[in-house]
Amino acid sequence: MHHFNYRENELYCEDVPIRTIAEDVGTPFYLYSHATLKRHFLIFNEAFDGVDRLVCYSAKANTNQAVLKLFESLGSGLDIVSGGELYRGLKAGFSSDRIVYSGVGKRMDEIDYALEAGILMFNVESLEELHLINERAGLLDLKAPVAIRVNPDVDPKTHPYISTGLEKNKFGIDRETAIEGYKVASRLDHIDVVGIDCHIGSQITEAKPFIEALESIKRLIEELRGMGIEIKYLDMGGGLGITYDDESPPHPREYARAIVESLKGTHLKLILEPGRVIVGNAGILVTQVLFRKSGRVKEFVVADAGMNDLMRPTLYKAFHAIEPVVRGEGDPITADVVGPICESGDFLAQDRKIRNVKKGDLLAVMSAGAYGFTMSSNYCSRPRVAEVMVKDDSYHVVRNRESYQDLVVSESIPPFLGD
């Protein structure tokens, strides 16, 4: 359930007409529902009641400070994949001992930053990374808490670009290498082996792959215990999908029930890293129709939001429902909804049946709260859009729209080029 609903043919976010926000803020902009964000986090967390767990929101899905602060206030931990996300998390008030650092390519300075901050653990993705963390921890006279990310070779049945648990994927290491990694880690002076990590992909719409991965990891934990290596944390990652079109992902309670049942008697602390399932349907992208354009074989609706604002349709051929902010009259049309970027791949929808719209109408691109703004860019020197959060009957701009001046503020012309 989300809080974007029509009232007499006008789309509202909670108790605020979206048209009102657009008139004030301008378009395009991302819009988030406070009530939906809060509800989704609480439902996910409470689904695991009775289990020793830490839900670490996956920052890469949406790193706006207001979003992070809300989850921090609800008791969330944080899953990060960069030094920048660590900075954002600490800035939003997250306790460092509730932060897990994932990601396949951690730089030395990022490792140092996380060590000095005192994070809960590193999810290590290679033996070279393990040795580097040990080296950096030694120089800082610290012990680094680590889990090794094990690749269970489970097919998550999702888009190949967001599958991470197969042997051909760049993430994690295979079972045999992981065993060797744990042996090595247990002998390193500045490594504290505390956990095991497994993340098989994103936008997964059935529970079975999670359970297959969990059963594989449980067998590995038993093998490690036989070697004298005790595991405290089991990090199951994230990946639970949402409904964009006609998907039917399991409810968090169903997902939790399957995992909890499989974990009975293990005495492990469960770490979960949900992202999309929390924020995906809690946000939309609002854009305005600039022009209608009729070709011989296609009808085009040209909007002021493009692939630099929302990359998912171009990158993944991802589906996002597109709804009018104010429902008008007329028969539906079939059209490509495109943006102003000079690329044929710049589209929000292709051959989509939508309500008839005209120049100046507002469109809501639904389910855009995850991997929307975080994947946006300044391509074609387009300023990144504003972000707005609604709570009840009020709204607040939680990120100002960039200006043209912002585009060049970090750049400089060298003296040899003259004035």
Per-residue HEC secondary structure of the chain comes to CCCEEEECCEEEECCEEHHHHHHHHCCCEEEEEHHHHHHHHHHHHHCCCCCCEEEEEEHHHCCCHHHHHHHHHCCCEEEECCHHHHHHHHHCCCCHHHEEECCCCCCHHHHHHHHHHCCCEEEECCHHHHHHHHHHHHHCCCCEEEEEEECCCCCCCCCHHHECCCCCCCCCECHHHHHHHHHHHHHCCCEEEEEEECCCECCECCCHHHHHHHHHHHHHHHHHHHCCCCCCEEECCCCECCCCCCCCCCCHHHHHHHHHHHHCCCCCEEEECCCHHHHHHHEEEEEEEEEEEECCCCEEEEECCCCCCCCHHHHHCCCCCEEECECCCCCCEEEEEECCCCCCCCEEEEEEEECCCCCCCEEEECCCCCCCHHHCCCHHHCCCCEEEEEECCEEEEEECCCCHHHHHCCCCCCHHHCC
Task: Specify whether 342 is catalytic.
Answer: yes
The backbone torsions φ and ψ at residue 248, rounded to the nearest 5 degrees and listed phi first, read -130, 70
Instruction: Give the span between the Cα atoms of 62 and 229, in whole angstroms.
Output: 36
Rounded-to-integer distance, Cα 346 and Cα 295, Å? 17
Instruction: Specify whether the CB–CB gap between 2 and 323 falls below 8 A.
Output: no
Quote the CA–CA distance of 88 and 283 in Å, as a whole number.
20
In the set 13, 198, 342, 380, the catalytic residue is 342
Distance, CA of 317 to CA of 231 (rounded, Å): 40
Residues acting as catalytic residues:
342
